[in-house]
Amino acid sequence: MSDFKNLLVTRDGFVATVQLNRPKVLNALNIDLMTELVDCLEALDQDSGIRAIVLTGSEKAFAAGADIKEMADATAVEMLTRDQFARWDRIRKIKKPIIAAVSGFVLGGGCELMMHCDIIIASETARIGQPEILIGVMPGAGGTQRLTRAVGKGLAMEMILTGRQITAEEAMKAGLVNKVVPIEFYLEEAQKLAREIAEKPPVAVRLAKEAILKSFDTTIEMGLEFERKNFYLLFATEDMREGMSAFIEKRKAEWKGK
């Protein structure tokens, strides 16, 4: 877990922090970095010692987008056969909660990567945008879909068609980020939230995350059905017995993740 070229990974109790680390190019997301990131997230997802993940960049840039220099000469067929989107799809399948801690430039693929996360804490300095239009393309890793669902059609159209970056404050008002804090605290705040979630019963956290994400790609009827099945499933866990007994016995629950 320590031999990544483009990532720094630290662990503190049940929380892992993954930091994008290509500072010279503002964490531009090249294929190497994305390969390492997906491998790292999948390994943490399988690691029983980790219950929540924080994904961050630097104060100057969470990520300034996909690596333009790597894409500039590609043909459509090369882009198609590289099939890099498959890698991004694997992030969507991570079961553990991922909290993004963003600061500085959060652009293009950087914004799309942030939107793959479950909860977003932003520093006051974050500037968030989908500037692909300014280089002759459009978002390709979910921007048109996830941004529109998060902020609504009007603002998504404006951001994607003009390339305008919004401030952290504007992003919070629009419902894109959960919380905005001074730059000194954004990472700490995200780690605090991750610790809080990591103290909860892990199977319930996992099934609740899964049900929330399901709401994005199903009807309300099917979504409610899905939620109900996950709810019933939790009655098969030791943690459910423990949680309810602890409530009745007026003591703190001890979660086993079983």
Residue 31 or 234 having the CB closest to ligand DAK: 31
Q: For ligand DAK, what does the binding mask look like between residues 105 and 144, x meaning CB under 6 A?
A: x-xxx---------------------xx--x----xx---
Residue 150 or 240 having the CB closest to ligand DAK: 150
Q: Render 21-52 in DSSP notation, one character per residue.
A: --GGGTT-B-HHHHHHHHHHHHHHHH-TT--E
**Runs of H (alpha helix) within 163-254:** 168-173, 186-198, 202-214, 220-234, 238-248
Residues 61, 105 contacting (CB under 8 angstroms): yes
CA angle 162/163/164 to nearest 5° reads 90
Phi-psi region of 257 (alpha: psi -120 to 50; beta: other; left: phi over 0): left
Catalytic residue among 52, 64, 122, 132: 132
Q: Is 109 tagged catalytic?
A: yes
Residues 95, 53 contacting (CB under 8 angstroms): no
- In angstroms, what is the minimal distance from the CB of 55 to ligand DAK? 16
Q: Is 196 tagged catalytic?
A: no
Residue 78 or 225 having the CB closest to ligand DAK: 78
The CA radius of gyration of the chain, in Å to the nearest whole number, is 19
Q: Is 254 tagged catalytic?
A: no
- In angstroms, what is the minimal distance from the CB of 257 to ligand DAK? 33
Q: Is 112 tagged catalytic?
A: yes
64 binds ligand DAK (CB under 6 A): yes
161 binds ligand DAK (CB under 6 A): no
* Closest residue to ligand DAK: CB criterion: 108
DSSP 127: E
Catalytic residue among 101, 110, 112, 174: 112
> Which positions lie near ligand DAK, rule CB under 6 A?
25-26, 28, 64-69, 79, 84-85, 88, 105, 107-109, 131-132, 135, 140-141
